[in-house]
């Protein structure tokens, strides 16, 4: 098990090796129960606030994002644990990974929300290496599959429905791959903390020490 907790971190070395083999095969792995119950229960209260706003990335996606600095800061703090970042490096083979930044978003079923095929590569100043999406919804949603496809062939090579509360998916960012989240159906929204592990000169905690502008 790999689990992030308010009080620390659990990492099973055997699980890291198993996940590495799986990631090598599929370019994607599931991390069951990455967030523990204490974290999830705290976050659930934050998600119920009316602090959602619509966000559009033109031609790629439309979603709601949560404007809650407390929830986002907590998630950034735990996901940037040096031991967890090292585990992600070991699983993915991306040795220069040093920083994770993300957002809290939701897809509401039967709405204008959508996601299209894209690669998330970024540029030289923002080298995105590994994507991660952590399911924050306490109720199972329908649809909302993460799909990966071979960019040149246009063929879907992997798909997964991440519906477990606190479960996470890690997936490869590459010029050879594209990904998307399919439409959410049914009655429950898909709520996730999602973003990218980046190659950065500084880790997350070093950036906190910089003087404010």
For the ranges 130-134, 142-146, 196-200, the lowest mean pLDDT is seen at 196-200
Q: Is 33 left (phi over 0), alpha (psi -120 to 50) or beta?
A: left
Residue 67 has pLDDT above 80, yes or no: yes
DSSP 13-70: HHHHHHHHHHHHHHSEEEETT-B-HHHHHHHHHHHTSS-EEEEEETTTEEEEEE--HH
Q: Give tens-digit pLDDT for 100-122.
A: 999 999 999 999 999 999 999 87
- Mean per-residue pLDDT of the chain: 93
DSSP the chain: -EEEETTEEEE-HHHHHHHHHHHHHHSEEEETT-B-HHHHHHHHHHHTSS-EEEEEETTTEEEEEE--HHHHHHHHHHHT-HHHHHHHHHHH--TTEEEEEEEEEEE-TTSS-EE--B-----TTSEEEEEEEEE--SS--EE--EEEEETTTTEEEEEE---STT-EEEEE--TTEEEEEPPEESSSPEEEEEEEEEE-SS-HHHHHTSPP-
Q: Give tens-digit pLDDT for 152-166.
A: 999 999 999 999 999
Residue 213 has pLDDT above 70, yes or no: no
Residue 195 has pLDDT above 60, yes or no: yes
Token pair belonging to 32: 């069951």
Band of pLDDT at residue 212, cut at 50, 70 and 90: low
For the ranges 21-25, 120-124, 143-147, 192-196, the lowest mean pLDDT is seen at 120-124
So what's the pLDDT on residue 108? 96
What's the average model confidence in pLDDT over 74-90? Answer: 96
So what's the pLDDT on residue 157? 95
For the ranges 12-26, 28-42, 91-105, 110-124, the lowest mean pLDDT is seen at 110-124
Residue 138 has pLDDT above 90, yes or no: yes
Residue 199 has pLDDT above 80, yes or no: yes
Residue 210 has pLDDT above 70, yes or no: no
């Amino acid at each position: 098990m790999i689990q992030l907790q308010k009080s620390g971190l659990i990492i099973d070395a055997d699980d890291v090796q198993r996940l590495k083999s799986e990631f090598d095969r599929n370019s994607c792995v599931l991390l069951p129960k990455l967030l523990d119950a204490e974290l999830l229960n705290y976050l659930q209260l934050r998600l119920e606030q009316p602090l959602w706003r619509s966000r559009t990335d033109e031609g790629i996606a439309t979603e709601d994002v949560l404007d809650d600095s407390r929830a986002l800061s907590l998630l950034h703090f735990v996901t940037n644990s040096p031991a967890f970042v090292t585990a992600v490096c070991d699983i993915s083979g991306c040795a220069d990974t040093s920083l994770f930044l993300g957002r809290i978003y939701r897809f509401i079923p039967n709405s204008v929300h959508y996601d299209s095929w894209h690669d998330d590569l970024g540029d030289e100043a923002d080298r995105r290496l590994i994507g991660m999406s952590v399911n924050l919804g306490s109720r199972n949603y329908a649809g909302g599959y993460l799909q990966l496809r071979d960019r040149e062939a246009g063929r879907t090579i992997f798909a997964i429905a991440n519906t477990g509360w606190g479960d996470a998916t890690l997936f490869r960012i590459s010029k050879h791959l594209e990904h998307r989240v399919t439409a959410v159906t049914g009655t429950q929204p898909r709520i996730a903390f999602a973003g990218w592990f980046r190659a950065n000169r500084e880790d997350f905690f070093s950036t906190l020490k910089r003087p404010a502008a």
